[in-house]
Structure 1
Amino acid sequence: MNPTRIALVGDRSTAVRAHEQIPRIVSAYDDVDLHWLPTDQLVPGEASAFDGVWVVPGSPYADEARVVEAIRDARTDGTPLLGTCGGYQHMVLEFARTVVGVDAHHAESRGAREAAPSSTALITELACSLKGHSGQIDVVPGSRAVAALGEQSFERFHCSFGLTAADAEPLVAAGLVVSARSPEGEPRVVELPGEAFWLGTAFQPELADTQPHPVIDAFVVAARHRARGRRAVAVGVADRAAGR
């Protein structure tokens, strides 16, 4: 069986519970191979050579610029992309920089205090930290998120930084979909319209009691579809080369 290859973009650490959980969760899929890609060793185009890219929690990353580049490559190539917690935050950052054209930065990132005066802190410290908290999210009907979560879900968070409703407005105007919010209206899940799987969650599905979490399962399904498509293309090329 040809495996479905998923890249985990992040700096693996035993101190990050999600990093310990991910291999256990994915062991439920006998056709999935995981490959950790440390952020300071990322090579341009490397991540999108996989069938799926999962940008995992654990920010600030050793090399934010390479993470954002990997996210951009996956998005523009149509590679299934999942970002959880810090990964979600950097997916938002990439969209703001590349699509909206905003010189945005993450307030937690290394060197953020030295950012140019014109740079906007798009991912900021939350007024009420979600670290270690669980909470309700309300999901938009018709979205990719609602297909996995239903119209209301209760999720576990582990973050102190995020995107506010006010800062999301110009991104939404440029095509970003905020597909789930807190009861107070703050963004909790973002996605992009279209066939390609592109989903970011402020919560950590890795910490759910029941696994695989529906968001993880939806991502794996998308990666499998990508893998099948690539194999079909490879077989077609081989057949043409052999004159079949």
Structure 2
Amino acid sequence: EDGGETDLDIGHYERFLGINLSKKNNITAGQIYYAVIMKERKGEYLGATVQIIPHVTNEIKQRIKEVGKEYNADVVFIEIGGTVGDIEGLPFLEAARQMRLEEGFNNVAFIHVALVPTLKATGEQKTKPVQHSVQELRRIGIQPDVIVARCEKPLDPEARSKIALFSNVPPEAVISNYDVSNIYEIPVILLNQMMHKILAQRLALEYREPDLSPWLSFLEKLSKSLKPVKIAMIGKYTRLKDSYMSITEAVKHSSAYIGVKPIFKWLESTDIENGYVDLEKELEDVKGALILPGFGKRGAEGKIKAIKYLREQNIPTLGICFGFQLMVIEIARNVIGLNNANSSELDPSTPHPVIALLPSQMEINTIGGSMRLGAISIKLRKGSKVYEAYGREIISERHRHRYGVNTKYIDVLESTGFIVSGVSLDNESVVEFMELNNHLLFIGTQSHPEFKSRPLAPSPLYMSFMSKVSLL
């Protein structure tokens, strides 16, 4: 919400917990070292020699405590990434060790996630990686309270007993976290192994029986959503599907409530641009398409080619961020007739910069963390498809961009039926949504609605998109 740029792990936490997190919830080594250096430069250490212990570890502990205070949290969950023994993670593990000493035994619990591989030749589950990982943790001074074993299939009794013995934990504290086809089943798997009860006892918390009925209802909807619908995913990073994880998850959330099963068809826009893809053949069986974000010149013309086909064939199309900007360019070129219309980002000398740098970005020379970021309020146009999707006039969505629709071209764009259906309520009045009137669904948004989609609260825009797709 506050514009913090993080990796996809934070997205998992937001989706599973149904909450919005802030940049304080993402602590990186770079942030820590930068803060320590700045404090030293300001003289806050009074000339003392700056060391990993105590200066870096104290900074880590301070940030963890700040998160707890900000949310008035009963419990703070901290994920320390990487692998035990990695040099990058040692200061964080040392800080965690110190926290148990300082906060008290019943106020800090350690959960260790470790791999239990299966030998394909014999089907045997090997526990040695867990044993060595726990030994390494003990050298650091940390004794795990719970072992979560990542495995292909449920842990067999022999493997569980062996892990418990060598890790010095009760067998019931060895949790089997095995592969599933649907990641949203994981909370139920953990619940069935009483992990919540183990942690409540370990932290001396009052035990309350959790109510997972809304989550179970969502899982039931997912399992009953069997009607396949093929969705074209058109982007430049399609070879690494995780690049668009928030979008694919948002589609899955909405599909569950509509009763369809999305089948993603990935099309690399660079291949389209280079003529390696027969668009008519590849898109003939899709029911809808997403023009994915990812700015830059590479693959842009490929996306524009795809947008033209989708518009002319009346296929439901949703453009996200840069995908929306390319929808504007396509309309300008092929409907209005503005030859060589483009974004000033892609072609600084274009005669028709229908997409231009935002006024607030013109004096900014730095790259990192300087875009138009975070949640911004938007006013929707009554009577529009977007208004119908959200069901209210004022909404809030997250952003990450520097360029936007050039307001000088709004009148000529709207004359084609490609109307502005949402404008930001900040000082810039940025065009946030546009939609084509005489089309089943052709909507572009400058925002990223997928960042707010949750299993129990799917994105209204993605719901609208999948509703139209399901009718075909």
Question: What TM-score range do you get, normalising by the shorter chain?
Answer: 0.7 to 0.9
Contact 2:417 2:438 in 1 (8 A): no
Asked if 1:196 is matched to 2:447, the reply is no
What's the counterpart of residue 94 of structure 1?
Answer: 330
Amino acid at match of 2:462: I
Pairing partner for 1:52 from 267, 283, 288:
288
The structure 1 residue matched to 2:398, chosen from 153, 156, 165, is 156
CA distance in 2, matches of 1:138, 1:2: 35
CA distance in 1, matches of 2:235, 2:268: 5
Give the SS at the match of 1:27: helix
- Worse-superposed segment, 34-43 or 121-130: 121-130
**SS of the residue aligned with 1:203?**
coil
Distance 1:35 1:14, change over 3 A: closer
- Per-residue deviation at 1:13? 6.7
Cα distance in 2 for residues equivalent to 1:224 and 1:58: 27
Write the distance in 2 (CA, Å) between the matches of 1:158 and 1:17: 18
1:165 shift after superposition: 2.3
The alpha carbon displacement at 1:133 in A equals 2.5
Q: State the distance in 1 between where 2:384 and 2:404 align.
A: 21
Deviation (angstroms), 1:202:
0.6
Contact 2:230 2:285 in 1 (8 A): no
2:251 is matched by which residue type in structure 1?
Answer: V
Provide the rounded CA distance (Å) in 2 between the counterparts of 1:17 and 1:92.
27
Per the alignment, residue 240 of structure 1 pairs with none
State the TM-score, normalizing by the size of structure 2. 0.44
Letter in 2 for 1:125: L
Q: CA deviation at 1:14?
A: 9.6
More helix by share: 2
What does residue 139 of structure 1 align with? Answer: 380
Distance between the aligned counterparts of 1:185 and 1:48, measured in 2? 38
- Structure having the higher Rg: 2
The match for 2:449 among 205, 219, 240 is 205
The answer to whether the 8 A contact 1:18-1:57 is kept is no
- The alpha carbon displacement at 1:61 in A equals 5.2
Write the mapping of 1:111-150 to structure 2, written as runs, cut at 5 A.
112-113=347-348, 115=349, 119-129=351-361, 131-149=372-390, 150=392
Specify the code of the residue in structure 2 equivalent to 1:141: K
After superposition, the Cα gap between the structure-2 partners of 1:122 and 1:208, relative to the gap in structure 1 and judged at 3 Å, is same
- Which structure: greater strand fraction? 1
Bigger RCO of structures 1 and 2 (CA < 8 A, at least 6 apart): 1
CA–CA distance in structure 2, aligned partners of residues 204 and 48 of structure 1 = 27
Q: Secondary structure at the match of 1:20?
A: helix
Residue 344 of structure 2 is aligned to residue 107 of structure 1: yes
Q: Distance in 2 between matches of 1:2 and 1:133?
A: 35
Contact 1:48 1:79 in 2 (8 A): no
SS across alignment from 1:133: strand
Q: Percent identity?
A: 25
SS state at 1:200 partner? strand
Partner Cα separation in structure 2 for residue 122 and residue 48 of structure 1 = 30
- The change in CA–CA distance for 1:106 and 1:27 in structure 2 (over 3 A counts) is same
Task: Give me the TM-score of the superposition, normalised by structure 1.
Answer: 0.82
Task: Within 5 Å, give how 1:157-196 maps onto structure 2.
Answer: 157-183=399-425, 185-196=429-440
Spell out structure 1 runs of 4+ moving beyond 4 A.
13-18
Q: Distance in 1 between matches of 2:242 and 2:420?
A: 26
CA contact (8 A) 1:164 1:186 kept: no
The CA distance in 2 between the partners of 1:101 and 1:146, in whole Å, is: 29
Cα distance, 1:18–1:165 mapped onto 2, change above 3 Å: farther
Change (3 A) 1:14 1:40: closer
Residue number in structure 2 paired with 1:20: 245
Give 1:26 deviation, angstroms: 2.8
What SS does structure 2 have at the residue aligned with 1:3?
Answer: strand
Which residue pairs with 1:220 in the alignment?
466
| Aligned residue pair count | 221
* Aligned residue type for 2:374: H
